[in-house]
Amino acid sequence: MTRRLSLTLTTTAALGISCLPGCKTAEQPAAQPAAVGAQPEPGQPKPAGDGKEVQTASGLRYTDQVVGTGKEAKDGMTAVVEYTGTLLNGTQFDTSRGKPPFEFKIGSGQVIKGWDEGVAGMKIGGKRSLKIPAPLGYGAKGQPPTIPPDATLLFDVELKDLK
């Protein structure tokens, strides 16, 4: 052990490395691991389309499959979306595919809370997968007979337009 430590310190000094991995210096603080669902600092780009799941404080989880390049969806705007909804077991319970796109005013309570939260922040042309826990969906009662009580809902949503 002493010989290995001595060799490491000698090699470190010979290479001019002033700090071993994991330590921090005034010039270069050690990187801190990001918390699950952590959002980027203001002014920094969001990780997008990288397939990484983000968890919000409410428990909503989402993954950007494709990041849109158009205008960003915000509360008060009318979102025009295509979507497919399934249960965790893969059973599809709803879709707008093959029908006119679905429209709703973001943040107004016209849809389940998971949709208001999950569509906000998307950009036109974006595709996002939402994993909505029961409290942000239909809760303990569900929506019989299609959605059972306490169901986690999965939605694939594509933001087509904003009005």
Query: What is the set of active-site residues?
Result: 83, 93-94, 112, 138, 155
- DSSP helix/strand/coil, 148: coil
Burial 6-28 (b: 16+ CB within 10 A, else e): eeeeeeeeeeeeeeeeeeeeeee
**Whole-angstrom distance, CA of residue 31 vs CA of residue 35:** 12
Read off the amino acid at residue 100. P
